[in-house]
Structure 1
């Protein structure tokens, strides 16, 4: 096909073909999640998660390369690109994943123009149309009869959601669920139940499967999630029933790996989930389902809308200044923007590329509810008048290579956006309730242990590098010194009669001395004492060596995303 024969309709078709290949391969990986769960192939689950994340960029690169074999994009007029977008819209008529296809289209245009032209006339900065929730509802939910007993409704449910493995104790699980539902609903609610609606697709993540739905009353509903696990013997059991919105919010939190959910109608699934979790934004739910690129698109639209509806200024984020990242925020909006500094402090023996690689590692790793997810952007524009002069000056001083000051805008060439949390050091400095302080320090130690058990050594474990969520969970968010556990040698501090001989003793670059951790994880003496009381094992090389052995043996940690008190007795 010569360049002269190519029409914009053909280019639009090539882009749609690229998207549909991407979605088809994405679904192939996702649909196998049930089999991996049934056969307890936990390492395969982790690999599938990594493969699914890398798939998008792979197909995008392939699609752009194909386009370049057909014509020379840089030689086309603005009118060509405007017409191409309209032709693509026509192709998306009645397309079940039109919103995801628009994001893929944006990615193609962004790759061609290196993200330097963000224009709604040639891209989908705004969606081509709004999705009307409920249109495809019958295609994504099952409705169960509630005319009889709670137990009979649950039996209907388990008749429908079948797994190719036996239950460890079906009657026990049925009893646990029945009694828990009766205990959590009032008599009046039990008499007003009209139906039970459940998403057809099971939700898989890590070593767990979840059934998501709601109990509908006359004028209200109660969301619920049934958490299913596999025993060591390969038998299925119900581990918990989640009915509180707080627990569901944590389950769909930003610090966890993406779910595997097999559906042809992601917009409808997201619409249903948002009815259960009205405080979650659309982009958070798309991201939780694994459509992180579209989550990024929807975030950007939400961000632009918020800029139009607010008038506060971007300012330096609260907390101690980082040595690697410059962090700032808009006080009225729930994210932090992070830019890699031009130069690092002498103590940071790392490069810019190393930092980028660390963030990529976290993106594809199981974050087990303890590491914040990030969205990466190129050529991100902010209105100059919305940036506080002190922030603008600091950006010029520390990140000059990454920003360009235009007439009305500040162009940031590369940045990360992360969910806003209260830095743990600020939380502990301001909190006066002894129980909350103790719980935060307890959770800090648990976070470090769970990250390590997931095969990540956090590196810089100062408590300023952790945040605490509104639900009281401690989350790690500073990734410039992370590595795999196997890349560190945990040792006792070398002993010598000479107190000044440390520099002459044999110490390798990858040596780590856990006995030193107590001096810097938390600073204040009273906080340090609590940490040592609760997590003294973190200060011993034996603890870390044992974790290394577990990781090397292939032990896959499962951190439940709900309180231990919610677990059913087995």
Structure 2
């Protein structure tokens, strides 16, 4: 229990800049206690400032946890529409909490009147409050957000905020608070029964005996007899991971020579009972479940650092910031990303690296324009050695784009709070993002100045962009199709393109600009949509058929409204080459019909929530 310090809101210490008083040659010394009294007053204000922020964070986290914990009841009662509203509400919590605390601080402390001594003292006092705090790392980010809001993100200074963490978290001390361990000395079935005796749901299972049999068969198909005999532990995270119409129990099977993911995927039957849909033991399946193109999980925990540490062991190729984001802590994920970014810059700065008896010089790569066709709305660039792209809104758009800068920002906010169904990339918004100027390619710098000058500030050592988005790097689909020669892979990626468009539409989002350059291909071959400046809800478009007559001028005289869409024209611009068009039409020809879009519009208008499983169909149990 934190003890609240006495209120010091009326105290406004000011540091004296005047010289000591003197009369002639007689020097009148200051009071020896003056500096110490001033320091005490400063510390008191800093302590109150820090306490108000930690109190604001704790309140915000309780609110976040309350919504997250409600996922269990929403799942059990199949309240899918409420689940989607909860996604939006939980995202909005952070900004609301931040606004409340900043308003309160201005009323109490007048932050902008304070000097550097105050900010160092405030950070020091806040650091003390983080001792033994179960969410200390998230609380650091909240403090950063407060400082960022006060100074409009113009100051990135580790003396004032937590650019670097206050301490390095070593996983393990709280492992028992987030992990269940199950006895593996008996039969496989007994172990599975023990799991379901631990995780309790109010909704009954449709056929638990069948589920246990399916799980037994799946595990025995994955592990031979010797491997099963060597299993010495099965560890499961205590939080249940809820998203969409599914719930996941996430853990691992521990053997002397290897460790496997162990994920039980559960859904509801048509008559509202619980069933086990799949048992997943492959790392790449778990990776897709935690994909950057899916909505954040609802997984209730008071020890997020320990949960993320466990997930990192299961998914060593995932970045720490990606795992925090997947749990809904996207603001802290941004903080961890920025730290990772700074570390990467340092590691690729062109310094001498010792490797055994040899000495190698690592070459510093430079930020450059991203491969592919230049965008009409965004300037996109990347660092070749780093796995993200940076997107900056242009000052002026092409004439074909009848939109504004604020409209583009609103589209990105829409995607943030939408169920991305594994087909829309998560993006993260940053203010005053800094790049080392000596790492900026000259062509990129000139292009930024030509297209985004209002967002760019140059100093002797830095390029500062006032507003940008960061997104996972993918291969643009148009480049993929140009480079790929394997017919099977081409066919697969065009099938993925059709599925991507259809699944986004069933999630109530019309993609708008469906040129293939606006889709990316992941390392696993999935197609993801990432251009959001023209997206809208399905209800905001009028799907129409072209005239059916022999008049060659009929289309020219057709009256077209700003919301009209003619699906029969899609085949002319989604993909370029005729061979690709023919494959897409063969696999997803219904996309080019008005009937398909009208039916999809009808489904979304009824509020029917779709269920897209993130693992292959062949892994689902047959019932």
Aligned with residue 561 of structure 2, among 508, 511, 528: 508
Aligned: 1:368 with 2:421: yes
Counterpart-to-counterpart distance in 2, 1:160 and 1:450? 35
Aligned: 1:466 with 2:533: no
More deviation, 489-498/25-34 = 489-498
State the structure with bigger RCO (CA 8 A, min sep 6), 1 or 2: 1
For the 8 Å contact 2:547–2:554, the answer to whether it is kept is: no
Q: How does 1:352-367 map to 2 (within 5 A)?
A: 352-367=405-420
Secondary structure class of the residue paired with 2:452: helix
Q: Which runs of 5+ in 1 are unaligned?
A: none
Aligned: 1:445 with 2:453: no
Secondary structure class of the residue paired with 2:500: helix
Q: How does 1:344-423 map to 2 (within 5 A)?
A: 344-423=397-476
Report the CA distance between 1:503 and its aligned residue. Answer: 4.1
Which residue does 1:519 correspond to in 2?
572
Determine which structure has more spread, i.e. the larger CA radius of gyration. Answer: 2
Aligned with residue 2 of structure 1, among 4, 10, 13: 10
Which residue does 1:67 correspond to in 2?
105
Aligned with residue 236 of structure 2, among 185, 198, 210: 198
Which residue does 2:93 correspond to in 1?
55
Output the TM-score relative to the length of structure 2.
0.91
For the 8 Å contact 2:46–2:122, the answer to whether it is kept is: yes
Which residue does 1:244 correspond to in 2?
282
Counterpart-to-counterpart distance in 2, 1:154 and 1:502? 64
Which residue does 1:284 correspond to in 2?
322
Aligned: 1:131 with 2:169: yes
Aligned: 1:31 with 2:39: no
Counterpart-to-counterpart distance in 2, 1:60 and 1:106? 11
Which residue does 2:343 correspond to in 1?
305
Q: How does 1:174-213 map to 2 (within 5 A)?
A: 174-213=212-251
Secondary structure class of the residue paired with 1:157: helix
Report the CA distance between 1:189 and its aligned residue. Answer: 1.0
What whole-Å deviation, never above 9, does each CA across 1:416-446 have from its counterpart, x for those lacking one? 0000000011111111111100000000000
What whole-Å deviation, never above 9, does each CA across 1:180-231 have from its counterpart, x for those lacking one? 1011012221111111100011000000000001111124311111100011
Aligned with residue 270 of structure 1, among 308, 312, 321: 308
Counterpart-to-counterpart distance in 1, 2:550 and 2:210? 63
Counterpart-to-counterpart distance in 2, 1:196 and 1:449? 38
Report the CA distance between 1:3 and its aligned residue. Answer: 4.4
Report the CA distance between 1:478 and its aligned residue. Answer: 0.2
What whole-Å deviation, never above 9, does each CA across 1:355-413 have from its counterpart, x for those lacking one? 00000000010000000001100000100000000100101011111101111100100
Q: How does 1:323-334 map to 2 (within 5 A)?
A: 323-334=376-387
Output the TM-score relative to the length of structure 1.
0.99
Q: Which runs of 5+ in 2 are unaligned?
A: 1-8, 13-40, 349-363
What whole-Å deviation, never above 9, does each CA across 1:54-105 have from its counterpart, x for those lacking one? 1100000000000000021111001100110000000111000000000000
Report the CA distance between 1:502 and its aligned residue. Answer: 2.9
Counterpart-to-counterpart distance in 2, 1:181 and 1:495? 57
Count of residues paired in the alignment: 570
Counterpart-to-counterpart distance in 2, 1:383 and 1:532? 47
For the 8 Å contact 2:389–2:471, the answer to whether it is kept is: yes
What whole-Å deviation, never above 9, does each CA across 1:489-525 have from its counterpart, x for those lacking one? 0010134554234343222110100000000000100
Counterpart-to-counterpart distance in 2, 1:314 and 1:462? 26
Report the CA distance between 1:160 and its aligned residue. Answer: 0.5
Counterpart-to-counterpart distance in 2, 1:85 and 1:397? 40
Counterpart-to-counterpart distance in 1, 2:220 and 2:482? 43
Which residue does 2:29 correspond to in 1?
none
Which residue does 1:552 correspond to in 2?
605
Which residue does 2:207 correspond to in 1?
169
For the 8 Å contact 1:8–1:80, the answer to whether it is kept is: yes
Which residue does 2:5 correspond to in 1?
none
Q: How does 1:35-184 map to 2 (within 5 A)?
A: 35-184=73-222
Counterpart-to-counterpart distance in 2, 1:501 and 1:494? 7
